[in-house]
């Protein structure tokens, strides 16, 4: 991969991004406990061709769970476990080292994890969301779980897209 790409994903080791705290409690269980068995609301009815991960993530839109814990939300939805990585940039670094990550968004499909660069605004931990199609992603933000346009997210946060990991 390109030198600029390698420099971006190693920024966390220089800026302290791998020092994100982890919770002892299982966040997926906490999320299900928080919203109950009925689930949350969706922004639209899910067509049959929408991957199950996107459908599940949409059930949590509007919920206040996982604030500031985007990586744990992404792990809970895509892998049904949490705690594998302490931060989004740590996850992306690991996927990139194992040649499972793709730079940019060319070829991204719904259900893939989309990673954003670390910066001061996210404590150098990076950011991640689940690609939902049409240039949008679903992620845990400081304002709860939201489905947002990627281009708007990058403009508002000054975070560039690192790449994606197919799921």
* Domain of 152, in residue numbers: 3-14+51-165
Q: If we measure between CA atoms, which residue out of 3, 7, 1, 164 comes closest to residue 88?
A: 164
pLDDT of residue 7: 39
For residues 141-159, average pLDDT: 96
In this structure, is residue 28 part of a structural domain? no
pLDDT of residue 4: 37
For residues 13-37, average pLDDT: 38
In this structure, is residue 77 part of a structural domain? yes
Question: Which is more confidently placed, 10 or 114?
Answer: 114
In this structure, is residue 31 part of a structural domain? no
pLDDT of residue 47: 54
pLDDT of residue 139: 98
In this structure, is residue 32 part of a structural domain? no
Name the domain count of the chain: 1
Q: Is the overall model pTM greater than 0.75, yes or no?
A: no
How does residue 23 score in pLDDT terms, banded at 50, 70 and 90? Answer: very low
In this structure, is residue 151 part of a structural domain? yes
CATH of the domain at 72: 3.90.1720.10
- Quote the mean pLDDT of the chain: 80
pLDDT of residue 65: 86
Q: What DSSP string describes 107-156? A: T--TT-EEEE---GGGTT--EEEEEEETTEEEEEETTEEEEEEHHHHHHH
pLDDT at 117 over 80: yes
In this structure, is residue 153 part of a structural domain? yes
Poorest-pLDDT segment among 2-6, 32-36, 46-50, 54-58: 32-36
For residues 3-12, average pLDDT: 41
pLDDT at 48 over 80: no
In this structure, is residue 33 part of a structural domain? no
In this structure, is residue 23 part of a structural domain? no
For residues 140-144, average pLDDT: 94
pLDDT of residue 18: 35
| The CA-based dihedral angle spanning residues 105, 16, 2, 134, taken in that order and rounded to the nearest 10 degrees | 0
For residues 117-131, average pLDDT: 95
pLDDT of residue 67: 86
């Amino acid at each position: 991969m390109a030198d600029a790409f390698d420099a971006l994903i190693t920024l966390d080791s220089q800026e302290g991004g791998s020092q994100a705290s982890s919770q002892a409690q299982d966040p997926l269980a906490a999320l299900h406990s928080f919203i109950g068995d009925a689930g949350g609301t969706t922004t639209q009815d899910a067509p049959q061709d929408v991957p199950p991960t996107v459908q599940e993530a949409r059930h949590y839109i509007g919920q206040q769970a996982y604030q500031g814990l985007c990586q744990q939300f992404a792990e809970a939805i895509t892998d049904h476990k949490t705690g594998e990585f302490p931060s989004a940039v740590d996850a992306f670094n690991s996927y990139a080292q194992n040649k499972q990550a793709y730079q940019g968004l060319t070829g991204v499909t719904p259900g893939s994890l989309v990673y954003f660069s670390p910066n001061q605004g996210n404590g150098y931990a990076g950011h991640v969301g689940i690609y939902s199609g049409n240039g949008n992603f679903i992620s845990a933000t400081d304002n709860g779980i939201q489905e947002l346009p990627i281009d708007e997210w990058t403009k508002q946060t000054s975070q560039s897209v690192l790449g994606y990991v197919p799921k």
